[in-house]
Chain A
């Protein structure tokens, strides 16, 4: 399968013009073609959420999206969440509250949490637990993850990544 098609991936505000095979998954385009390896692969069946990114502000599992489907869509990965010198409140909270151990689920968990807070800036504990049920963590027992999301929600400016008007993202 050597036929390729042009695709423009707008990732973290930077446009990348690529020639890709139509079968290339977005997660592999990000990791292998663009070197953005903060987005992880954990399961191949869309269960674990380690590959969660934002498409037009909505959290999606990038292992269930083809790179060609992301043509022209505004993508945000974990590498683009922080501003120049400052961590995103969720990143701060995951670090401070020890919402991570091995760190493999962490980028996806943070991106899913950012998507959750964009839709629901002040979630209850129960809403956080159910909102993140598509992201698996095998180390922490989830407790500190929930605490981090609640703490980030309290912190000013946590609700970034609100859904952009126009195209809805592909949800997975």
Chain B
């Protein structure tokens, strides 16, 4: 059953917590006041591999205000930990540079940080191995890739088909390590009381934090409460609890006092996850008409020695285009590096950079317009499963974008369009992201004097979820949005899935709709004179939705204009257009922001973002916002996102596909394709820094 739209869904409702955020009243994790709080500072390893031999803390403990120094020898033992990154201070092993090897706890933040620098540590250092290479001897095929896909697929006879193809390309694309860098650094305030522990924490899902902490400290889940009403971004890096959460809880336990722990921006580069670097070999074969006969996508990725995380980079090549012969593979090398993790659209983001760059190269090789090439290979059914698509409007996105962007008058020859110092080009790429959902529960209540209230352990990490859920609830209750209050970000509310995989609104909204419908039914029977509440979960509905033989994905097309300075190689993106087909848009105001925010991160990926590994010391060298460049205000010029009407009753009761991630998917390929069109130079390793273009622009063109 789908929601009957009565007006809230689809309206550009102002962000409900907007006033709190513009007045500075919205409190983030570190900002809760707590009596007798102590401050913890993280001690990080300065070697990339080896063991901690001695920790000389005596002199530090003499400093006024220092309460404790924790390290593996004196730290409390943890109970059950399934993530190697969370085995904090459980052994002397050092698995990467920057790993947590201790903590100093003091009366003030300043004293803790001062003392942390004075602790003397001796290591038994071992040689480290931190560089991912295509010929790395440790490469292996993992059993599954994130979150649970097969690592390898083979359809037909790829090798023969590729060998026989009339038009083909065989290119390798590389992407560097990239760091999520949400604006709010990770932070935790841990408060032990008689019955358990309360955390004020910055995360994408309070339930995950609650269950992980409960297991690690041998508590029942209801002995842990996690409170996170406002979260300053995450982009995947706060999707699961990171090691500092364990350390904060441990420190508070050891000291018998509440402890605040803020991860510094610099520490985030080792401790809170990042996108793995990738090396992706793409082989595409087609006939003379541009119909794909063979698709090969082989991805090489890294993980750490403490946990296997295998980014599903080749995934989009399984469902984007029709082809009878196909091979997709993933191989991993587990190096002495921090553990990579989710970063906005893991899999699709690097994977579609490779696939959509390769499609551009194939279009040029075959003398076909890049849009026409994609249209010709748009599949009737999902090539991987044979299932019908619940809705697939990639072609409509490409056509609409082409019309608006002025694609049809494009001169396809590269390097011929110049205005003054600028070589100008345009590029296109497709976007996609799966439309999945997970079970969640929600409570809806009515009180005659206070109206309607929804409680759900959801997260608004900046997405607009609180606002969207208010709209969804209002329509399900058939009341104005002003009559509904939605409360999220507290593990004492009904359990819900995390803000990840663009599944938040889909999962939570489904539970909210169900709760609101049941509440209305109760009110129809019992009237509105007495307080009423209902609590529901969507286990059955989510299972039924997953079992449906349908392929559910959102699609989009991205158009980029790039200008390249003929002398310096500097790239500007004066114009970007994204066209998306993602089901029903709940709130055009928050949705547009998600799209253009994602596209901006994609422009950053194309031009700026790169974490450089230091081979000698084994860590990310440019580990701060001075050295790791994210797009700034003047980097962004004309940027527009639009969406097509799309009715998809299969994805969830709202008919809305997730939109938090699709905006970044394809952007970098569109930029690289535009840079090629501008200059004739194909950069196959991101980011497209000026040094990769300078000197490569033909002299005659300068």
A-to-B contact residues, CB < 8 Å: 1-2, 21, 23-24, 28, 31-32, 35-45, 47-48, 50, 77-79, 81-82, 87, 90-92, 94-96, 98, 100-107, 110, 126, 128-130, 132-133, 135-146
Contacts and interface: CB of A to CB of B under 8 A. Distances in A.
A140 B593 contact: yes
A98 B590 contact: yes
Given A35-B33, A142-B600, A45 B624 contact: yes
- Most chain A beta-carbon neighbours within 10 Å: one of B17, B590, B596: B596
28 contacts: A35-B33, A37-B24, A40-B183, A41-B30, A43-B624, A44-B624, A45-B625, A47-B624, A47-B626, A48-B265, A78-B22, A78-B23, A87-B19, A95-B15, A95-B21, A100-B22, A101-B593, A104-B183, A104-B233, A129-B634, A130-B634, A136-B183, A138-B233, A140-B593, A140-B596, A140-B597, A143-B596, A143-B639
A102 B265 contact: no
Contacts of B23: 38, 78-79, 81-82, 87, 91
Q: Which 7 A-B pairs have the closest CB atoms?
A: A38-B24, A102-B462, A104-B232, A103-B21, A141-B600, A78-B24, A101-B462
A7 to B, nearest CB: 15
Contacts of A40: 28, 183-184, 232
B232 A91 contact: no
Contacts of B463: 101
B235 interface: yes
Given A2-B64, A47-B626, A139-B462, A102 B182 contact: yes
Contacts of A91: 22-23
Given A77-B24, A107-B24, A41 B114 contact: no
Given A45-B626, A103-B22, A142-B636, 5 more contacts: A21-B110, A50-B183, A100-B15, A100-B18, A139-B462
Task: From B65, B183, B593, name the one whose CB has the most chain A CB atoms within 10 angstroms.
Answer: B183
B392 interface: no
Contact of A136 (B65, B266, B599, B632): B632
Given A95-B22, A96-B14, A140-B597, A2 B65 contact: yes
B181 interface: yes
Nearest to B265: A43
Contacts of A44: 264-266, 624
A111 to B, nearest CB: 9
Nearest to B231: A102
B21 A100 contact: yes
Interface string B617-649: 000000011100011111010010000000000
Nearest to A103: B21
A101 B184 CA distance: 12
A96 to B, nearest CB: 7
A92 B230 CA distance: 20
Contact of B27 (A37, A79, A129): A37
B22 to A, nearest CB: 4
B601 interface: yes
Interface string B149-178: 000000000000000000000000000000
B26 interface: yes
A114 to B, nearest CB: 12
A122 B23 CA distance: 23
A116 to B, nearest CB: 11
A90 B232 CA distance: 20
Given A2-B65, A24-B110, A141-B639, A42 B21 contact: no
B232 A102 contact: yes
A48 B183 contact: yes
Interface string B573-593: 000000000000000011011
A139 B21 CA distance: 14
Given A77-B24, A95-B22, A28 B15 contact: no
Contact of B22 (A24, A94, A128, A144): A94
A78 B20 CA distance: 11
A106 B24 CA distance: 8
A158 to B, nearest CB: 14
B597 A141 contact: yes
A45 B634 CA distance: 20
Contacts, number: 182
B464 A101 contact: yes
A132 B15 CA distance: 23
Interface of B: 14-15, 17-28, 30-31, 33, 64-65, 108-111, 114, 181-185, 230-233, 235, 262, 264-266, 461-464, 589-590, 592-594, 596-601, 624-626, 630-634, 636, 639
A132 B635 CA distance: 11
A141 B592 CA distance: 10
B184 A42 contact: yes
A145 B462 CA distance: 15
Contacts of B633: 128-130, 132-133, 135, 137, 142, 145-146
Contacts of A146: 633
Contact of B233 (A35, A129, A139): A139
A84 B599 CA distance: 38
Contact of B114 (A1, A100, A129): A1
A43 B288 CA distance: 53
Given A78-B23, A91-B22, A102-B232, A141 B596 contact: yes
B603 to A, nearest CB: 9
A98 B624 contact: no
Nearest to B460: A102
B639 A103 contact: no
Given A2-B65, A41-B262, A101-B462, A106 B22 contact: yes
From B31, B65, B601, name the one whose CB has the most chain A CB atoms within 10 angstroms.
B31
B594 to A, nearest CB: 8
Contacts of B632: 133, 136, 142
Nearest to B599: A141
Nearest to A79: B24
Contacts of B25: 38, 79
A28 B592 CA distance: 35
A52 B25 CA distance: 16
Contacts of A36: 24
Contacts of B184: 40, 42, 102, 104
B21 A106 contact: yes
A103 B631 CA distance: 17
B15 A138 contact: no
B185 to A, nearest CB: 7
A103 B185 contact: no
B263 to A, nearest CB: 11
A9 to B, nearest CB: 16
A143 B26 contact: no
A123 B264 CA distance: 35
B182 A98 contact: no
A144 B593 contact: yes
Contacts of A38: 23-25
A102 B232 CA distance: 5
Contacts of A81: 23
Contacts of B21: 95, 100, 103, 106
Nearest to B594: A101
A102 B634 contact: no
